[in-house]
Amino acid sequence: MKAKVLDFMMRSPRLAVITAIGTTCVLVMILSLNSRQAYQEFQDFTNEEFRLNSLVERIVYYDEVLTMSARMGAATGDTAWEKRYQAFVPQLEEALQTASQLTPDAFASHSTQQTDAANQQLIALEAEALTLVREGQPDAALKLLLGAEYEAQKKIYQQGSAQVLAAIAQRIRDRIRGVQQNLGIAQTVAAGGLGCLILLWSWVYQIIVRYSTTLKRINHNLEALVAERTQEIQDLNQKLKSENIRMAAELDITRRLQSMILPRPQDLHSIPDLDIVGFMEPAAEVGGDYFDVIHRNGNTKVSIGDVTGHGLESGVLMLMVQTSIRSLFVHGEKDLQKVIQSTNQTIFENVSRMQSEKNLSLLIINYEQGILTISGQHEHLLIVRKDGQPEAYDTDGLGFTVGLIDDISPFVGTQELALQIGDIVALYTDGVTEAANSQHQMYGLPRLHRLIIENAHLPVTEIQQIVVEDVRSFIGDQVVYDDITLVLIKRQN
């Protein structure tokens, strides 16, 4: 049969040329169509693959930014982290939506629904934590973000994300195999071409080989990229753990510094004419309450303050206040109004430098030869006279919030009170009077005043223990949201 065909072609060269030309045209047309289709498919796949890689990188990055922003906001109490958090939420949602449109199969599984539910739960927990930060409760926010529920949802989300990324990678590999099969067909067709088209088919073959090499390189790069991103996630997790350990150490150092600068009981007992006792219990690891007692040259000065919020920043501000006031008194400043204004100037400048919104209430009293001079704005000053008569003095007209404005001297005044033997003075922060029980009832000023009156015959150390135990009993199992500070002063013979 083959010999007959060859014989026929030899006897009809024109027909052979026409047949060859026709066959060549058909082959060229088929090759052209196949090559064009393969090239277009390759271009589409390349564009989609690079787009998916970009989306995967952005999704991983945005997720880590959101988690870090929420935790840093809770750890520092700085609301700037919430702004950073809110700025990245729509970007993550946009990236996820685009990825689901490009690879709907990867987002259609039951595990993806669980991942979405875990993501929504994480967003809700992070939003709740940021709300706590705005309300001045960063310790509660940090506890929420480091809690078992958050970690469980984070694990579900990470596992689901890994499955989605794996599904996307599998889809890309399937596309690669499809493209490779189509290119193989084109190679087969090219291999069957006529000898006169060898140069043309060689050129087409080189293109196909180049395409195949590119696809293999893309597949290799994709696998390397997935491994690199996985390692980056692990490194970020380790970095977050190390950062948490470092922050905990810083908080512990600040807490210990606070405890170290509080007046020692033996120093208080050595003050003549006065029986003084102080108590401070922070709601968080680092509190924002402050009190100090200084006895020099026959007079005694007692100061008490309450920094907004608590945590590291509030604790540092408390140390600044203690240092400023003690330095002024040690260097001979006796004018309480000047001490408060100078302290305000120092705190205002430091808070502005720190770009913080912290401030505090501050009250200073001076006792000398039976006269009590008070200055500054804080909670009511309580006095229980020896005969049981209660007195409460509003200090709002004697000062202004410290650290809020540059100059508060126009608002600062003084008031003098006589203190007789047996009279008791009570200084406290709102952590005492605003302590709440399970019925959302506050401890209140009347209850504190009444308890001091009932036990006025006892030493102030025992009165303090009775008050603290009563406050704790009143709170019960409720979470303590504010620092508790109480200072009692009793004039004695």
Q: Which carries the bigger pLDDT value, residue 298 or residue 50? A: 298
Residue 4 clears pLDDT 60, i.e. is over it: no
Q: What is the mean pLDDT of residues 20-45?
A: 68
Q: Which of 55-64, 242-251, 379-388 has the lowest mean pLDDT?
A: 242-251
CB 413 within 8 A of CB 396: no
pLDDT at position 279: 93
| Residue type, position 17, single letter | V
DSSP string of 445-462? HHHHHHHHHHTTTS-HHH
Q: How confident is the model at residue 157 (pLDDT cuts 50, 70, 90)?
A: confident
Query: 184: part of which helix (H) or strand (E)?
Result: helix 148-191
pLDDT of residue 225: 80
CA distance 429 to 449: 14
3-class DSSP state of 292: strand
What are the structure tokens assigned to 214, written together?
A: 């590119």
What's residue 90's pLDDT?
A: 83
Is the model more confident about 13 or about 484?
Answer: 484
Question: In 404-479, where do the E strands start and end?
Answer: 414-418, 424-428
Q: Which of 63-72, 215-224, 255-264, 325-334 tops mean pLDDT?
A: 325-334
Highest mean pLDDT among 84-98, 145-159, 206-220, 390-404: 390-404
Residue 38 has pLDDT above 90, yes or no: no
What is the tens place of the pLDDT at every residue in 361-375?
A: 999 999 999 999 999
Q: Does position 15 have pLDDT exceeding 60, yes or no?
A: no
Question: For the residues 112-123, what does the mean pLDDT come to?
Answer: 76
* pLDDT of res. 12: 45
| Alpha carbon distances (Å) from 314 to 73, 119, 290, 307, 354 | 14, 33, 10, 6, 12
Question: Between these two residues, 83 and 284, which has the higher pLDDT value?
Answer: 83
Q: Which band of pLDDT confidence, cut at 50, 70 and 90, is reported for residue 10?
A: very low
Helix and strand element counts for the chain (H, E) = 13, 10
pLDDT for the residue 42: 66
Question: Which segments of 12-79 does DSSP mark as H helices, in order?
Answer: 13-76
| DSSP state letter for 422 | T
pLDDT at 17 (0 to 100)? 46
Q: What is the pLDDT of residue 13?
A: 46
Rounded-to-integer distance, Cα 277 and Cα 274, Å: 10
Structure tokens of 240?
């977050």
Q: Which long-range contacts (CB under 8 A, 24 or more apart) does 180-185 make?
A: 180/212, 180/215, 182/34, 182/37, 182/38, 182/41, 183/38, 183/208, 183/211, 183/212, 185/34
pLDDT at position 237 is 75
Q: What percentage of residues in the chain have a pLDDT greater than 70?
A: 79
* % of the chain surpassing 90 pLDDT: 34
Among 450, 453, 424, 448, which Cα is nearest to 434's? 448
Name the residue with higher pLDDT: 481 or 408. Answer: 408
What span, in angstroms and rounded, lies between the C-alpha atoms of 473 and 334?
41
Residue 3: pLDDT over 60: no
CA angle 429, 430, 433 (to 5 degrees): 110
pTM of the model: 0.52
For residues 294-302, give the mean pLDDT. Answer: 90
Average pLDDT over the chain reads 80
Give the C-alpha separation, 462 to 58, whole Å.
62
pLDDT score, position 311: 74
Mean pLDDT lowest among 97-101, 179-183, 199-203: 199-203
* Tokens 């009347």, residue located: 446
* Whether residue 178 has pLDDT greater than 90: no
- Residue 222 confidence (pLDDT): 79
Task: Tell me the H-state helices in 262-330.
Answer: 265-269, 312-330
Segment 183-229, tens digit of pLDDT: 677 667 666 655 666 765 565 566 566 767 877 887 888 788 878 87
Tokens representing 98 are 């685009």
**Residue 317 in this model has a pLDDT that exceeds 50:** yes
Of residues 184 and 440, more confidence is placed in 440
What pLDDT score was predicted for residue 286? 58
